[in-house]
């Protein structure tokens, strides 16, 4: 696939390239919040009518001249032009480059400064069940990316009685063994259409935070309702962006 939209945040001077598609099939994928695609596994939003050419992407970025270029999805590493755009952002714009969200399937990458990896589970079986892919590649890639000097961060969706505290603990124990200072975000599950899972209670979120903080020092969490998740710009000005190209 390819990037179909570029957004720009003037206040923080960063541009984001958005890709359509993903290699995983997580049943609770939050992209379903907008598409309402009940019953379909994974990333299920309508295919954009048009993708941006590489020339368009470069021309828009040149005009914006952002200090940072982020790549998002779905899963941004699915975009066939990603490596070319990383090289352009780094060498021609002199920008910092980061995968704002990735499932960790392709790391490290040339000209990529940082990545925020969304881990799905610690148990092999649960990881396979959720994503359709084995877990080991993702954890190995995270280690390799850190060892290569990339600035790494991680997150996991906490879903009591599905992706529970034992899954969270296995993951953060692994991250702490690399460095306890790696930032980690606990995403309280946001209910998506057609899924049976429950949003964590306040008490469950507190227990999850206490657990993760016993391993890591830079821990944040979010505990949004579905309605709040649909308007993140009301809570965080990093989401107040204008569309610079695409739809
Ligand atoms: S990896 Fe992320 S984008 Fe892909 S299906 Fe899972 S939650 Fe959705």
Which run of H or E residues covers position 14? strand 14-19
**pLDDT band with cut points at 50, 70 and 90 for residue 164:** very high
Distance, in Å, from the CA atom of 239 to the CA atom of 189, rounded to the nearest integer, reads: 20
Domain CATH for 50: 3.20.20.70
* End-to-end CA gap in the chain: 16
**pLDDT band with cut points at 50, 70 and 90 for residue 153:** very high
Q: Each residue of 102-130: pLDDT tens digit?
A: 999 999 999 999 999 999 999 999 999 99
Instruction: Output the CA 63–ligand 1 centroid distance in Å.
Output: 31
Instruction: Output the CA 75–ligand 1 centroid distance in Å.
Output: 7
C-beta 75 within 6 A of ligand 1: yes
pLDDT higher than 60, residue 15: yes
pLDDT higher than 80, residue 38: no
Instruction: Output the CA 54–ligand 1 centroid distance in Å.
Output: 24
How many domains, the chain?
1
Q: Which comes out higher in pLDDT, residue 142 or 226?
A: 142
State CA 195 to chain mean position distance. 20
**pLDDT band with cut points at 50, 70 and 90 for residue 57:** very high
Q: Each residue of 212-225: pLDDT tens digit?
A: 999 999 999 999 98
**Whole-number pLDDT of residue 41:** 61
C-beta 156 within 6 A of ligand 1: no
**Whole-number pLDDT of residue 216:** 98
- Mean pLDDT confidence for 179-207: 95
Residue pair 8/234 in contact (Cβ under 8 Å)? The answer is no
Buried b or exposed e, range 120-144, using 16+ CB within 10 angstroms: bbbeeebbeebbebebeebbebbee
Residue pair 180/215 in contact (Cβ under 8 Å)? The answer is yes
> What radius of gyration, in Å, describes the C-alpha atoms of the chain?
18
Domain range spanning residue 231?
A: 3-246
- Mean pLDDT confidence for 221-238: 89
pTM confidence score? 0.94
pLDDT higher than 60, residue 54: yes
Which phi and psi (to 5°) does residue 148 adopt?
Answer: -75, -5
Distance, in Å, from the CA atom of 192 to the CA atom of 225, rounded to the nearest integer, reads: 10
């Amino acid at each position: 696939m390819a990037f179909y939209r570029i957004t720009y945040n003037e206040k923080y001077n960063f541009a984001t390239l958005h890709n359509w598609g993903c290699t995983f099939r997580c049943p609770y994928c939050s992209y379903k919040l907008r598409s309402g695609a009940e019953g379909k596994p994974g990333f299920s939003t309508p295919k954009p009518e048009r993708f941006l050419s590489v020339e368009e992407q470069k021309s828009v970025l040149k005009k914006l001249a952002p200090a940072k270029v982020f790549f998002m999805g779905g899963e941004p590493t699915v975009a066939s032009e990603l490596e070319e755009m990383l090289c352009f952002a780094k060498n021609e714009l002199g920008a910092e480059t980061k995968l704002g969200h990735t499932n960790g399937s392709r790391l490290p990458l040339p000209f990529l400064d940082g990545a925020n990896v969304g881990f799905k589970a610690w148990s092999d079986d649960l990881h396979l069940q959720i994503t359709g892919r084995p877990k080991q590649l993702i954890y190995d890639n995270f280690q390799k990316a850190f060892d290569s000097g990339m600035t790494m961060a991680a997150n996991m969706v906490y879903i009591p009685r599905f992706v529970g505290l034992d899954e969270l603990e296995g993951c953060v124990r692994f991250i702490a063994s690399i460095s306890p200072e790696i930032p980690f975000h606990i995403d309280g599950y946001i209910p998506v259409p057609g899924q049976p899972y429950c949003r964590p209670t306040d008490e469950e979120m507190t227990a999850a935070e206490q657990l993760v903080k016993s391993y890591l020092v830079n821990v944040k969490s979010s505990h949004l309702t579905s309605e709040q998740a649909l308007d993140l710009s009301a809570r965080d000005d990093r989401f107040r962006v204008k569309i610079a190209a695409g739809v």
